[in-house]
Amino acid sequence: MEKSKTNVKSCYSCMTCSSGCQFQHIMDVKPHAVIRMVQTGFRDEALSASGPWLCVGCNTCSTNCPNAIDIPAVMDALRQTSITEKRPIPEPNILNFHSAVLHSIRRYGRTHKLEIMMRYKLVQRDLFSDVDLGLRMLAKRKLDLTASKIKELPEVKKLFNKAG
């Protein structure tokens, strides 16, 4: 709770957060259960769950929460704690994906999906398993060949430098 600056004690497990989560179907532990683990002191279980690693921080859960608990902040704090304590990451290769996304944001101020996908695939040494998906996305104009930069890119870079 201290790292996330979020009081999870007000959660009464209504499960609204989990029911609104777009990724709960692939999580081993749903958002409401992760919050309950944090509340009740099941630290190791919360840190070894895949839920925090699969959370994309879209804030749907927090928006729907009747107590406005910042669940993505809790998930982020759990991920940070896992990394700091050098715990095994329950989702293989997720850090490579996170790294590719952050590199794109640092470079352009936003995500460039094609570059993220290519960087991730290069690190995984798995260039061709999703070529059909990539081609379909290109055909539907869901992937831009070139990246666009935001005007405030120096401000984004300052944030990255400040974070270390």
Low-confidence residues of the chain: pLDDT under 50: none
CA distance 63 to 70: 9
CA distance 69 to 85: 25
pLDDT value at residue 52: 94
Contact at 8 Å (CB) between 52 and 90? no
pTM of this structure: 0.75
pLDDT value at residue 79: 92
Listed in sequence order, the DSSP H helices in 7-111 are 16-20, 31-40, 43-48, 51-54, 60-64, 71-84, 94-108
Helices 71-84, 31-40: inter-axial angle, 10-degree rounding: 70
